[in-house]
Amino acid sequence: MVNHRLVSSTSFQSFNLDPPFSNFQFVERQFSSLPAARRLFSLSRQFDGKTLVIEDIPAKGVIASENREIRRHFNDYEMVDLKRLSFWKVPFKRKSSLLFRPLNDLIGYALLKRDRIPSRNIDRWHVFESVFLNNPHEHNCVSANKLFSLRVGDFKFRISGIMFCQQNALNKACAQVGLRSLCSLHIRDTDLPYEHINQLAKDIQPFNPADGLNVQQMRGILTSLGVKFRDVDYEQSTEAREDLPYQKFLYSGIESGAGALLGFRLSGPSAGDRRHIIPFFGHTFSQDTWVPNAEIAYFHVGENTKYLPSDSWVGSFMGHDDNFGSNFSVPKRYVTPTQAEYVVEILNNGVNYSGTVAEAIGIDYLYSILPNLSKSQNVWLDRLINYSAAQMVVLRAISLTKSEFLKHIGSLRDWENNRENASMINILGKLVPDVMWMVELSLPELFPSNLRKLGEIILDASKSPATKRDFNAFVFARVPERYIFLQEIVNNAPSFLVAPSAIISHASFYRGNL
């Protein structure tokens, strides 16, 4: 299929975005005051955009596919217009100037499509897709990114970001566009056609694509595409709203760079039974938040097992809302538990269980290991033991590949600038699985301010966890100055082997693409 981002244009116009250029006036005149189009110009302003390029392009690839699908539903459908917009950090006027533009001058692009159906009195624009740079604000954490190739004028460029897609209420609703946005991170075919999404849904249950997708269809589509996930349908279990809060699943998918989806019921006098679903891919990190220290009851795994989850420092989740545009921050508790209908945590390839489960397993294993850590001459190890006993240890679960983990452990430097021995890293390379959960261990005064940790518990992410503790997923744990390996389990009691680590104090937590 032809890549719709790389087609040659039939026109080229450049606009100087400096005053007196008016974003409002331009969107009103060109795109019928479309809110998602306004958002494009707002994102450009955040990067001090200087130049807008608009090109007319033909419908190719997935756009031609969409046109065919709509025409099957509406005989008099026609695509009236298709524009490619690109926003730039530097001023220029001529197409030839693009020859000298470095890749980092590109802020973002958007494909805006105008559809008309005379018999339905429909004539409207929508953002077929867009990709913008992530806002580099110091509190923004976005580990999910995809590299997209784009033609502007006669030249090819690349930009990294998260695809935004908008519904048109003809062949796609919020569910289809949310799926396409996140699936672009996980499948090779980043040009996933809506025709294909809708056909997969129809194989499960006949439906009108304009009405969106139900839970069974979303599950079937993700499974058919080979995208692993864990989800909770809150309509099927009211207790899950409290026992399995949606925020935990959003955070887990986001923190591992896989993304997540949240479906919720609208409220208000005119809401009726309407629902909406939006994709999330990042969060804000509030280092000075008061909540973790102020809360008396933290996240409970069992009656006698508590800890501080790292999402306690999350202020907002970052995602797209196809009604308004891309790259918005949504306060962590803005959607109430009673409004939440469905949550999907996307899992990275090879991962078989949720990060929320990894945290629960991690804290259980930590408490099993603690008796083997009682004799210590290391002040940081003693602090970890004391904070764990007080149930104040901070846990953060990240899914990693073997190469990502070995690169991370090899890059660690503790406060005294010690690094791990190469021989130990070689040993770990023979022990760690191809895909794992790394459950980082930290302290409430160390994690948010210093962005550092005291160790980690490594779990095999490919092994489905048992309902009872069996250490089947346990690979090893690292704490200051020590590695802990499982030796044997006798009468349900584990015993461990201890090996030295050259890292004797705290080191940076995993940053990935943050």
pLDDT digits (tens, 9 = 90+) for 218-269: 999 999 999 999 999 999 887 888 889 999 999 999 999 999 999 999 876 6
Domain assignment present for 5: no
What b/e sequence results for 204-242 when a residue is b if at least 16 CB atoms lie within 10 Å of its CB, and e otherwise?
beeeebeebbbbebbbbbbeebebbbbbbbbeeeeebbe
Point out the domain boundary residue: 304, 325, 346.
Answer: 346
**Cβ atoms of 92 and 52 closer than 8 Å:** no
* Segment 28-45, tens digit of pLDDT: 999 999 999 999 999 999
176, part of any domain: yes
pLDDT of 299 over the 70 cut: no
**Is-cis flag, bond preceding 20, omega within 30?**
yes
Domain assignment present for residue 313? The answer is yes
- Please give the pLDDT value at position 513: 53
**3-state secondary structure labels for all residues of 393-451:** CEEEEEEEEHHHHHHHHHHCCCCCCCCCCHHHHHHHHHHCCCEEEEEEEECCCCHHHHC
Establish if 8 belongs to a structural domain. Answer: no
The β-bridge relationship of strands 394-401 and 305-309 is parallel
SS3 label, residue 57: coil
Domain check: are 309 and 394 in the same one?
no
Average the pLDDT over each of 103-112, 220-229, 365-374 and give the range with the smallest value. 365-374
Give 284's strand partners: 140
Across residues 461-482, what is the average pLDDT? Answer: 90
412 strand-pairing partners = none
218 in a domain, yes or no?
A: yes
The answer to whether position 514 is within a domain reads no
Considering the domain architecture, whether residues 373 and 309 belong to the same structural domain is answered as no
Q: What is the pTM of this model?
A: 0.92
Q: Judge whether 199 and 217 are in contact, CB under 8 Å.
A: no
User: pLDDT tens digits for 312-334?
Assistant: 999 999 999 999 999 999 999 99
Q: How far apart are the C-alpha atoms of 10 and 348, rounded to whole Å?
A: 40
Determine the structural domain holding residue 389 and report its residue range.
357-508
Q: Are residues 310 and 374 in the same domain?
A: no
On whether residue 503 sits in a domain, the answer given is yes
Shared-domain flag, residues 30 and 61: yes
pLDDT at 324: 95
Domains: count for the chain: 2
Residues in the chain, total:
514
| Whether residues 54 and 141 fall in one domain | yes
Cβ atoms 227, 255 nearer than 8 A: no
Q: What is the CA radius of gyration of the chain?
A: 25
Which residue has 């105008």 as its token pair?
114
